[in-house]
Amino acid sequence: MKRIGSPARHLRARGLAVGLAALTCLAGCMPTTPVASPGAVGGAPAATAGAGSGVEVPAGFGSLRQDEVSLRVNRDAVAVQVTPLDEGILRLTAPDTYERLSRLGDRAGPGGRVFLVTVLTEAPGGAEFEPRNVRIESRGIVHRAEAIEPLTPGWGAGPLRQRSVERAVYRFPSGVDPSLDMVILFGNSRSRSWSDVLPRLDAERARVRARAGGGRSQISRPNFLIFR
């Protein structure tokens, strides 16, 4: 006899998938408004936001969206997206995405590897979220954040509110290398492997070199997705 899964479970999974798509749109359509902090760095993009993949190409010629250079994982009613703020990776993104994300690189302090973490819940009553449950497994070692810098007022201020997008910058140890494979851990859930993304980055890096050689800056594409 064929077993049929719980309707509630299917609806919850579908809701999170829709939420992730909406989150891609919202993150790109909304300006990032950092929470005031004594260590905040404004203005110029961070030149040291991760040399792991090497700053090999000029800025302004990329075309990738934020969701194309991110890993996502969900557990229960919470969806998490993690984006490396590595300069060599950000230069592969579209100009508007690069401008928005490159300003965040120094927010969590000097050293280490810096990532943008974005979370969302579709649960009607909200959901519990423990920021330090987001970890990165790199080269067989599980790393926890050394510093977390909130970018939105609701980060860490209690349960997540339904459809309220919260963001923070995480600084992980330098042992996390975005040029190599890694996996995002959230509780006991795992993202897909970063090795699935690396070929896309290599292909875009070649295209950026070709565009830069021809002097053609990539035209920014309108953003209609949430994890941009």
Which residue do the tokens 């998490």 mark?
80
pLDDT > 60? residue 81: yes
DSSP states of 159-193 as a string? SBPTT--EEEEEEE-TT--TTS-EEEEETTEE---
* Residue 198 buriedness (CB in 10 A; 0-12 / 13-18 / 19+): middle
| Count of Cβ atoms closer than 10 Å to residue 30 Cβ | 13
Token pair in block for residue 7: 């309707």
* Residue 5 buriedness (CB in 10 A; 0-12 / 13-18 / 19+): exposed
3 state SS for 31-46: CCCCCCCCCCCCCCCC
Angle of the 7-29 helix axis to the 95-102 helix axis, nearest 10: 90
**What's the gap between Cα 212 and its chain centre?**
26
pLDDT digits (tens, 9 = 90+) for 48-73: 333 345 568 999 999 999 999 999 99
153, containing H or E segment: none
Domain ranges of the chain: 7-214
pLDDT digits (tens, 9 = 90+) for 93-148: 999 999 999 999 878 778 899 999 999 999 999 999 999 999 999 999 999 999 99
The per-residue pLDDT for 219 is 47
> In terms of pTM, does the model score above 0.85?
no
The whole-angstrom separation of Cα 114 and Cα 84 is 6
